[in-house]
């Protein structure tokens, strides 16, 4: 982003047979969005024109072959492929998986090269993206490989943030994945993200237990007492406000979550079921801990409603706004923390 220019938002189009194209169109049909950002959709102008016709959209696209030709105040489409895409809404098609990966790879490269400032990813189908050259369970794992840092799935709204110790891990394997090193890494990633990305100076974090009732003193498992508690105690001794483990079954229903800046769940459904129950349609999936900003909506391809014109774009729109705000927060944080010794010396002379 150059001085005075909008933040450039890269958008990977996801599965063309899902609702990605529709929610992207609906988001940027509102011309006011161009006051906040400059979108670059990684797809093909043919595919986006198909969506425009199908959904009777009045949006106008600016087709580009070179990212140096991005035009502000326009909805740019960077052509990742030229071949026609046979779009059949609601159908799982390996070819659509190939297009989704082409879009994701092009968007990620542009992000790494700082040709876009942030990346917002439309939903993919985790099954049809698999191939000999792409073997990741989802966006988060791929981006963790491509971008510097320790990735963490961080589900966010204005007043609720839920991170995960383990994300796309089978339930039977969760306990063995939760090691002292992993706990410390994830807690520190959440802590640093709250400060850097959300402007919270002294974050307060809750951690949910691994077992029901946090093990009931070893009756229902020893992992909470033998693995989780000692690490949380160690982190707390470092001066960080980290509390737990809390029994997950009553934590959200009792509204205890409102007392914390973030909650860290031990596994996927433990965190995402309450998060989506409380915020579905408004939530955002943010990949914290990376050198670049990536967000996505909190839902999948929704094949069952694809093509019907009834998909709700609010979560995608919130993902776009969140990416913009987090990017701005990072710029501000880096400005504040740059050359701290020089700044301290200046303050001392006042």
Residues 6+ apart with CB under 8 A from 322: 156, 284, 286, 295
Give the pLDDT mean for 1-22. 87
Quickly state the pLDDT bin for 344 (edges 50, 70, 90).
low
Quickly state the pLDDT bin for 149 (edges 50, 70, 90).
confident
Question: Per-residue pLDDT for 154 more than 90?
Answer: yes
How far apart (Å, rounded) are the C-alpha atoms in residues 22 and 29?
10
Summarize pLDDT for 88-131 with one digit per residue, the tens: 999 999 999 999 999 999 999 999 999 999 999 999 988 877 77
Summarize pLDDT for 191-209 with one digit per residue, the tens: 999 999 999 999 999 999 9
CA dihedral over 305, 309, 312, 316, signed as positive or negative:
positive
Quickly state the pLDDT bin for 229 (edges 50, 70, 90).
very high
The mean pLDDT value of the chain amounts to: 92
Which pLDDT value is given to residue 1? Answer: 58
Summarize pLDDT for 281-337 with one digit per residue, the tens: 789 999 999 999 999 999 999 999 999 999 999 999 999 999 999 999 999 998 888
Which pLDDT value is given to residue 340? Answer: 60
Which pLDDT value is given to residue 140? Answer: 79
**Of 338 and 186, the one with more pLDDT:** 186
Measured from the Cβ of residue 188, the count of other Cβ atoms closer than 10 Å reads 17
Which pLDDT value is given to residue 109? Answer: 96
Which pLDDT value is given to residue 4? Answer: 52
Give the pLDDT mean for 56-75. 95
Measured from the Cβ of residue 119, the count of other Cβ atoms closer than 10 Å reads 27
Measured from the Cβ of residue 149, the count of other Cβ atoms closer than 10 Å reads 15
Q: Max alpha carbon distance in the chain (Å)?
A: 68
How far apart (Å, rounded) are the C-alpha atoms in residues 249 and 326?
31
Whether 13 and 98 have beta carbons less than 8 Å apart is answered as no
| Prediction pTM value | 0.91
Tokens representing 74?
A: 């326009």
Burial class of residue 232 (count of CB atoms within 10 Å of its CB; 0-12, 13-18, 19+)? buried
Quickly state the pLDDT bin for 137 (edges 50, 70, 90).
low
How far apart (Å, rounded) are the C-alpha atoms in residues 174 and 171?
5
Question: Per-residue pLDDT for 345 more than 90?
Answer: no
Residue owning tokens 């600016």: 62
**Residue 133 φ/ψ, nearest 5 degrees:** -105, -10
Which pLDDT value is given to residue 243? Answer: 97
Question: Per-residue pLDDT for 347 more than 60?
Answer: no
Residues 6+ apart with CB under 8 A from 152: 163, 164, 186, 189, 190, 193, 287, 288, 289
């Amino acid at each position: 982003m150059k001085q005075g220019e909008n933040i450039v938002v890269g958008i990977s189009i996801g599965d063309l047979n899902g609702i990605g194209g529709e929610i992207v169109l609906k988001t940027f049909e509102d011309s006011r969005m161009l006051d906040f950002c400059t979108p670059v959709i990684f797809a093909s102008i043919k595919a986006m024109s198909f969506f425009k016709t199908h959904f009777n959209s009045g949006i106008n696209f600016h087709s580009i072959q070179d990212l140096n030709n991005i035009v502000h105040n326009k909805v740019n489409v960077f052509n990742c492929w030229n071949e026609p895409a046979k779009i059949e809404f609601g159908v799982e098609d390996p070819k659509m998986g190939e297009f989704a990966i082409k879009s994701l790879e092009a968007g990620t490269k542009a992000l790494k090269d700082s040709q876009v400032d942030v990346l917002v990813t439309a939903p993919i189908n985790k099954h049809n993206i698999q191939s000999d050259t792409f073997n990741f369970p989802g966006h988060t794992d791929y981006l963790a490989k491509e971008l510097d840092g320790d990735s963490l799935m961080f589900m966010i709204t204005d007043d609720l943030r839920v991170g995960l110790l383990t994300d796309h891990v089978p339930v039977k394997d969760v306990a063995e994945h939760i090691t002292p090193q992993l706990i410390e890494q994830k807690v520190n990633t959440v802590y640093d993200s709250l400060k850097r990305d959300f402007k919270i100076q002294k974050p307060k974090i809750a951690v949910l237990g691994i077992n029901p009732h946090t093990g009931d003193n070893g009756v229902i498992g020893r992992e909470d007492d033998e693995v989780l508690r000692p690490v949380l105690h160690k982190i707390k001794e470092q001066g960080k406000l980290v509390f737990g483990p809390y029994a997950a079954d009553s934590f959200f229903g009792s509204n205890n979550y409102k007392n914390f800046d973030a909650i860290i769940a031990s596994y996927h459904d433990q965190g995402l079921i309450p998060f989506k129950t409380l915020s579905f349609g408004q939530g955002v999936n943010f990949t914290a801990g990376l050198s670049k900003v990536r967000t996505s909506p909190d839902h999948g391809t929704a094949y069952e409603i694809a093509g019907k014109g009834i998909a709700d774009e609010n979560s995608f729109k919130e993902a776009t706004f969140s990416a913009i705000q987090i990017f701005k927060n990072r710029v501000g944080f880096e400005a504040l923390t740059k050359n701290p010794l020089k700044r301290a010396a200046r303050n001392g002379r006042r």
